[in-house]
Chain A
């Protein structure tokens, strides 16, 4: 394995490409092919997206906020070479909601909200409450990992340049 600090900066594009790929997958509905077939899961883009363009002379950031935000500006940024740097996701599993923001650079999760759980009333309730919450966090991590695993397999495979990248570019062209 490469030195950690070298790998962090050298491969920071992987996380941003992942989020860009994920946006494409969600927009086209292709994400359902990746998740457990038996699970009742739907994924949508949340209320925030940040794009970063390092292809321009200065680094540009484009932030799109709002529940019903038009993502067209984001698509236009993609045409100019930007990638998704932060992406909010809303996931429903059996109609139970998870919301969080993924950062491309670190894959850190912020503003992670799980379905509501009861507050522990006594000290004895704490262990049960923690285990319940941990289980809910694991659901969000598991779904994210399933996406990331598929992305990495595709990204290092031969199909990336031959098929997947072309499909994403076609999607960008038709939605700008």
Chain B
């Protein structure tokens, strides 16, 4: 559901703060510092980082490939391994049966059971490939606007956190209050008025 999709979902942000000059160097450094790393052959179950919009499976930012003048375009990639609970259960039951058979043991403590489960999850995690989810980012530094192509709460939280770590700039989500606050042409008095608003009631029915 990215920029070029036939149907997109977008959350808009205001970038708070001034990016360090030279702009392209700072952006390249920030993207490289937190680019996605592969977790397919290790036991990590989740990772998240920046990747290239043009080729999201190869996080290459060389040659300012993220510049679509005047926009900066890249993607957030969140890779997650999801092991079906029934697969874990199947291996868990088999392992317990094997232990009982080998050791002539008829009881396992809660600690031993947890240890077996953790070992199975770690072992499966090494073998199961991560599923990538890709969310596009369009950033227009000249007016401090940024669009993030997902309304998923978890993805939005990741982009806000990673953007701050990468560029030392905060993302302010444009929801009704912040969008009004940052709109041009409002005096301080009007902004105070915004802070003092209370809900209107359009109800026309008489309360019993």
Question: How many angstroms from the CA of A141 to the CA of B194 in the assembled complex?
Answer: 22
Question: How many angstroms from the CA of A134 to the CA of B205 in the assembled complex?
Answer: 45
* Candidates A80, A141, A153, A155; contact of B205 at CB < 8 Å: A80
* Candidates A10, A12, A104, A134; contact of B71 at CB < 8 Å: A134
Interface contact A169-B174, CB-CB below 8 Å: no
Question: How many angstroms from the CA of A123 to the CA of B199 in the assembled complex?
Answer: 51
Question: How many angstroms from the CA of A168 to the CA of B204 in the assembled complex?
Answer: 10
Interface contact A113-B177, CB-CB below 8 Å: no
Interface size on B, residues (CB 8 A): 42
Q: A79-B204, A129-B4, A168-B202 are in contact. Are A109 and B10 (CB under 8 A)?
A: yes
Encode contact with B along A123-150: 1 for CB under 8 Å, 0 otherwise: 1001101110110010001000100110
Q: Which residues from A are CB-within-8-Å of B176?
A: 11-12, 14-15, 18, 104-107
Q: Which residues from B are CB-within-8-Å of A152?
A: 180, 183, 186, 194
Asked if B85 is at the interface (CB within 8 A of a chain A CB), the reply is no
Asked if A13 is at the interface (CB within 8 A of a chain B CB), the reply is yes
Encode contact with A along B169-208: 1 for CB under 8 Å, 0 otherwise: 0001111111111010110001001110101111111000
Interface contact B7-A148, CB-CB below 8 Å: no
Interface contact A81-B201, CB-CB below 8 Å: yes
Q: A14-B197, A123-B54, A156-B193 are in contact. Are A108 and B3 (CB under 8 A)?
A: no
Interface contact B175-A106, CB-CB below 8 Å: yes
Interface contact B179-A107, CB-CB below 8 Å: yes
CB distance from B170 to the nearest CB of A (A): 10
* Candidates A1, A55, A110, A141; contact of B201 at CB < 8 Å: A55
Asked if B6 is at the interface (CB within 8 A of a chain A CB), the reply is yes
CB distance from A117 to the nearest CB of B (A): 8
Which residue of chain B has the shortest Cβ distance to A155 in the bound complex?
Answer: B197
Asked if A176 is at the interface (CB within 8 A of a chain B CB), the reply is yes
Q: A2-B177, A12-B176, A156-B190 are in contact. Are A134 and B138 (CB under 8 A)?
A: yes
Asked if B58 is at the interface (CB within 8 A of a chain A CB), the reply is no
* Candidates A17, A112, A133, A149; contact of B199 at CB < 8 Å: A17
Interface contact A169-B202, CB-CB below 8 Å: yes
Interface contact A14-B177, CB-CB below 8 Å: yes
Asked if A172 is at the interface (CB within 8 A of a chain B CB), the reply is yes
Interface contact B202-A83, CB-CB below 8 Å: yes
Asked if B73 is at the interface (CB within 8 A of a chain A CB), the reply is yes
Asked if A96 is at the interface (CB within 8 A of a chain B CB), the reply is no
Q: Which residues from A are CB-within-8-Å of B179?
A: 107, 145, 148
Interface contact A79-B203, CB-CB below 8 Å: yes
* Candidates B10, B12, B178; contact of A7 at CB < 8 Å: B178
Interface contact A107-B175, CB-CB below 8 Å: yes
Q: In chain B between 43 and 92, which residues have their CB closer than 8 angstroms to a CB of chain A?
A: 53-54, 68, 71, 73
Which residue of chain A has the shortest Cβ distance to B175 in the bound complex?
Answer: A106
Asked if B8 is at the interface (CB within 8 A of a chain A CB), the reply is yes
Q: Which residues from A are CB-within-8-Å of B7?
A: 111-113
Interface contact A79-B175, CB-CB below 8 Å: no
Q: Which residues from B are CB-within-8-Å of A59?
A: none
11 extra interface residue pairs, beta carbon distance < 8 Å, beyond A148-B180, A149-B183: A1-B178, A1-B181, A2-B177, A12-B176, A15-B175, A55-B201, A78-B202, A109-B10, A110-B9, A110-B151, A137-B8
Top 5 closest A-B pairs, CB basis? A81-B203, A156-B193, A15-B176, A14-B176, A7-B177
7 contacts across the A-B interface (CB closer than 8 A): A20-B202, A81-B203, A105-B176, A112-B8, A112-B10, A130-B4, A130-B73
